[in-house]
Amino acid sequence: MRAADLARLAAYAAMVPVGQVLFKLASLKHQDLDGPILWRLIQNLPLLAAFAWYGLSAVLWLAILKRTPLSVAYPAAIVGAALVPPLAWAAFGEPLSWTMAGGYLLMLAGLWLLSPRSA
């Protein structure tokens, strides 16, 4: 796999947790808004930002899949999941635990096992 392909995968893996933080911000904002549901959705700037962010990430995902097998690309996207808890802790004060860290380390170990290697 070329360096540019790895860079795209890393960028995508970083984009997913940022999108999750935006959705969390949108959920917090939503409870402060009044009016009909459609009006609240339109007024919810973090939600609109999350949709735009995921739109951009979908474009990047298409570029990745054009050059990278899905069986290789999708496990690499899991790396982003490991970034969500520390971001949630930093942004919202959500708790972290050793069992959570252990679970994510096991996920990352599985990713390493799935990663293609040159013979």
User: What average pLDDT score do residues 38-64 get?
Assistant: 92
Res 119: pLDDT: 40
Confidence of residue 112 (pLDDT cuts 50, 70, 90): confident
The answer to which of 23-27, 78-82, 92-96 has the lowest mean pLDDT is 78-82
User: What average pLDDT score do residues 53-77 get?
Assistant: 92
Q: Is the pLDDT of residue 118 over 70?
A: no
Q: Which pTM value belongs to this model? A: 0.81
Cβ(43)–Cβ(98) below 8 Å: no
Res 117: pLDDT: 64
Direct distance between the N- and C-terminal alpha carbons of the chain, in angstroms, rounded to an integer = 13
Cα gap 31→29, rounded to integer Å: 6
Domain ranges for the chain: 3-114
